[in-house]
Amino acid sequence: MIEGLYIITDEELHPGRTHLMIAEAAIAGGAGLIQIRDKHASDRDLYEAAMAVREACTRAGALLFVNDRVHIAAAVGADGVNIGQSDLPVAAVRTILGKNAVIGVSCDCLKQALQAEKDGADYIGYGPVFPTSTKLDAGPVSGLETLRKVCDSVNIPVVAIGGINADNIDQVAAAGAQCAAVISAIVCADDMKQATIELIRRYGTKRQA
């Protein structure tokens, strides 16, 4: 379920491109995992955007995740949520969203990843693997060797994140990550659909090698 290219939407990176536009282009390019992320939108605005993306995902058979805001995920019937270290604990999120929800936990060190698995997370969002400007509160760059250690140490999928693009996505795959999360590589691309196709091709080729 949690494997392949994981697209995170961000309206601020490319003004004029909405969460829905980004999601639809990524889905058209073959992406099956979409996360809507917006740190500044009001609950009402994010709810409406997430509902639109939810409908697009449902039509295409893609999974929808909401970043941080568990109540929005519950309200729109999202497939899951990605939470940070300062958000509600996994058990509390499970109580709100139910046993079938997919819960990911953002981690920036092996200790956090092991704890998240112990707490019942369904996947680890690990990074930043490479330098990134899309997440201002991200920790120091971890690098590929640490990513490999995390992948070797946990028994749940690892979603690598942070500065991943067409030039380095094969390295992330080779390190063992089941998923590669991308933001600017899609959102800022001239052709978001084609960029998605190319990233999936590069990642899939390495994962199958």
Catalytic residues: 37, 106, 135
Structure tokens at 56: 């697009």
Q: Peptide bond before 131: cis, by omega within 30 degrees of 0?
A: no
Burial class (CB in 10 A: 0-12, 13-18, 19+), 84: middle
Report the DSSP pairing between strands 33-36 and 158-160.
Answer: unpaired
DSSP 142: -
Q: Tell me the torsion sign for CA atoms 72, 75, 76, 78.
A: positive
Question: Which residues, 6+ apart, have CB-to-CB distance to 138 below 8 Å?
Answer: 108, 127, 128, 132, 162
Structure tokens at 23: 């999601």
CA nearest 93: which of 69, 127, 110, 65? Answer: 69
**CA separation for the pair 20, 8 (Å, rounded):** 11
